[in-house]
Amino acid sequence: MDKLFDLDPTEAVKQASTLLGCSPTSKNVADYFDKHDKLRHFRGNFLVPKIADLPPSDLSLVDGSEECIYLSGNSLGLQPKNARKYIEEELDNWAKIAIHGHTVGPRPWAWAENNIELLMANVVGAKEEEVALMNGLTVNLHLLMLSFYKPTQARHKILLEDKAFPSDHYAIESQIRLRGFEPQQSMLRLSPRQGEDTLRTEDILDIIEKEGDSIAVVMFAGVQFYTGQLFDMDAITKAGHGKGCFVGFDCAHAVGNVELKLHDWGVDFACWCSYKYLNSGAGGLGGAFIHEKHKDTIKPALLGWWGHELKTRFQMTNVMELQPGVSGFRLSNQPILLVCPLQASLEVFNMTSMQMLRRKSVLLTGYLEYLIKHYYSEDPAQPHKPYVRIITPSDPQQRGCQLSLSFSIPIRRVYQELERRGVTCDMREPSVLRVAPTPLYNSFGDVHRFIETLGKALAASSSSSSSSS
C-alpha cells in the first residue's frame, strides 16, 4: 500500500513482509515497494548503463545484458534521454542557421539559461529571480564571497565544517588571504566531537552563539559530501542572522537530493553544481542563489556584460545597467551545449516535486539501511566476520539519500569485486563506500541487488585474501 511510504522505514519493511508472508530480507519486499512506487516510471527518462559496457565488469561473473546497479548519483547523475536530442537540436541550429541561433529556435542562445531558471528555482525552493544558472560551483562561490565576505578587524572569521569539500576549503582560504587576513586566524573549522563522525546541530548553533560577533560569514554544506549528513539549514541560518552574520551554503550534495527552502529559510546566498543529483553531465552548468532581500544592496564585485539588463545589453553603450540581485552577477553568455542536458533533467524534476521525491528517498535509503544492519552489523559471536558501521546519521531528517558505509576491513578489494559484478558506487580509502540510491531513477530492486552483490564481493575478496596469504 502507498501508505507504507509514510511509515518509519523499518516499520514499513516489517509491515510489507508480514503482508506478503515472507522474510523482511526477501526480494519480494523490494518488488512490492517498486510495484507501489508512484515515481518508478521516471527511471525511463534516463539511460542506465549496461553491465557489459562498464570497463571493470567481468562477464564471467554476471550477465552483461542487465542494467548495472548504479548508486553513484552523488558523484555523477545518469544521462537524461532528452539530453542528446536537445544537444543535437542546437548543433543542427549552429550548422543550419549559425548566428541566428542567438535569437530563434527552441532555446535562443542569448537567453537559453533564463528559460529554465524557474524549473531550477522550483527544485531549490526559491523565486525565479533569486536564481542564476552560470559558471561552475567554485567560480560562483568566489563571486558570491567577494560580495558577502566583508571582513573587519573585529568580524573577519568564516565558519565552516572541518573536512569541507576541498574546493570550498580552498575558495574560503583564498578569499581570506585576498582581504589581507590569515586563514589560521580567520578560518573557524568545526569538527565532530571525539569519537563521533558527524556534527551535532547544537554544537553548530553553540559555536555561532559564542563566536558570532567575530564571524563574518557562516559557510556550510547543505549535505556533507563524505558523511552524507544533512545540516539543519533553517536553524543555522536563523542562528547566524541572530549574531549579525551572513549565511551561505554549498548545496552541491543537497540540490535534487533533499527538499530545500532557500527563500523561506532566509538563506543569504548559495551555490551548487548540477552534475550530481541534477544529472547535467560532468562539468555541467552551476547555479547561484541570492535572497531577494539583498537585490538592491548586495552588488557584484566583478562585472561582465551578461550582468547588464537584457533589453539594452546589445546596444553596447558601455554604461552598465545592472540587473538586480543574482542576475547582476552574470559575467558571460552560458554554453548552450551545457544548458541542454540540464534542461532535460530539470524537466523531469518538474514532472513531480521534491516533496514526492524525498518521500520515496526516505524509504529507499531506509530500506538500504535496514538490509545493511541485518546482514552486516557487528557480531561478537563471529569476530572474523566483516561488519559495517554506517557513519551517516540514522535519523532520516539528518541525511539525504547517501549512506556512507565504514567497513571493518580495507575496502579496495571489496570495491573491485563489486565493480566486477556491475555495481557502481564510490570508494574512499581506507574503508568507506558511499552508496546513494537516488529516488529519481533507482529502484528498491537496485538496493536488494546491491546487498546480494555485496555479499558475493565480500566472499570473493575474503577468498582472494586467504589464497594470497
User: Residue 354: which of 129, 127, 48, 121 has the closest Cα?
Assistant: 121
HSE at residue 292, side-chain half, CA atoms within 13 A, is 9
pLDDT at 200 over 60: yes
Which amino acid belongs to residue 105? Answer: G
In angstroms, the CA 405 to CA 415 distance is 12
* Predicted pLDDT of residue 468: 52
pLDDT at 1 over 60: no
Cell numbers standing for residue 98? 549559425
Query: Using one digit for the tens of pLDDT, what is the confidence trace for 15-27?
Result: 999 999 999 999 9
Residues in Cβ contact with 4 at an 8 Å cutoff, skipping those fewer than 6 apart:
12, 15, 16, 33, 36, 363
Cβ-contact 225, 272 below 8 angstroms: no
Q: What is the mean pLDDT of residues 200-223?
A: 98
Query: Using one digit for the tens of pLDDT, what is the confidence trace for 41-72?
Result: 999 999 999 999 999 999 999 999 999 999 99
User: Residue 362: which of 258, 452, 255 has the closest Cα?
Assistant: 258
Cell numbers standing for residue 347? 524537466
pLDDT at 466 over 70: no
Q: How confident is the model at residue 3 (pLDDT cuts 50, 70, 90)?
A: confident
* Predicted pLDDT of residue 429: 86
Which amino acid belongs to residue 176? Answer: I
Query: Using one digit for the tens of pLDDT, what is the confidence trace for 222-254?
Result: 999 999 999 999 999 999 999 999 999 999 999
Cβ-contact 39, 356 below 8 angstroms: yes
* Predicted pLDDT of residue 113: 97
Give me the chain's average pLDDT, please: 96
Phi, psi of 81 (to 5 degrees): -60, -30
Query: Using one digit for the tens of pLDDT, what is the confidence trace for 135-162?
Result: 999 999 999 999 999 999 999 999 999 9
* Predicted pLDDT of residue 393: 98
pLDDT at 215 over 80: yes
Q: How confident is the model at residue 4 (pLDDT cuts 50, 70, 90)?
A: confident
Q: What is the mean pLDDT of residues 276-299?
A: 97
Looking at the chain, the whole-number percentage of residues with pLDDT higher than 70 is 98
Q: How confident is the model at residue 467 (pLDDT cuts 50, 70, 90)?
A: low
* Predicted pLDDT of residue 338: 98
pLDDT at 461 over 90: no
* Predicted pLDDT of residue 2: 74
Cell numbers standing for residue 289? 542563489
* Predicted pLDDT of residue 457: 95
Q: What is the mean pLDDT of residues 91-103?
A: 97
* Predicted pLDDT of residue 465: 55
pLDDT at 198 over 90: yes
In angstroms, the CA 453 to CA 458 distance is 9
Q: How confident is the model at residue 462 (pLDDT cuts 50, 70, 90)?
A: confident
For residue 435, the 8-state DSSP code is E
Q: How confident is the model at residue 449 (pLDDT cuts 50, 70, 90)?
A: very high
pLDDT at 342 over 90: yes
* Predicted pLDDT of residue 388: 95
Which amino acid belongs to residue 39? Answer: L
pLDDT at 279 over 80: yes
